[in-house]
Amino acid sequence: MSVASMRPSRLGITGASARCHPYVLDFLGLDSAHSEADLERAIIDEMQRFLLELGSGFAFVAVEI
């Protein structure tokens, strides 16, 4: 598959349709009144857990401060 064939417009994804499909982040365990900082921290924590599950050869290099 070429990069050109993966463009959002070729996949039928428009600005309007992208807004209609929310992200499902229930696995992060956040309450409905979470802050952006809480969301960022939960995503980073989950990424670190995932990389640890992959085993050696993967690294989580830095976190934006």
Give the separation between CA 37 and CA 7, rounded to whole angstroms: 31
Q: What is the pLDDT along the chain (65 residues), one digit of tens a residue?
A: 565 555 656 666 666 655 666 777 888 888 889 999 999 999 999 988 888 888 888 777 777 76
Give the separation between CA 40 and CA 53, rounded to whole angstroms: 20
The reported pLDDT for the residue numbered 38 is: 93
Phi, psi of 28 (to 5 degrees): -80, -15
CA dihedral for 42, 45, 40, 25, sign (positive or negative): negative
Rounded to a whole number of angstroms, the distance between the first and last alpha carbons of the chain is 37
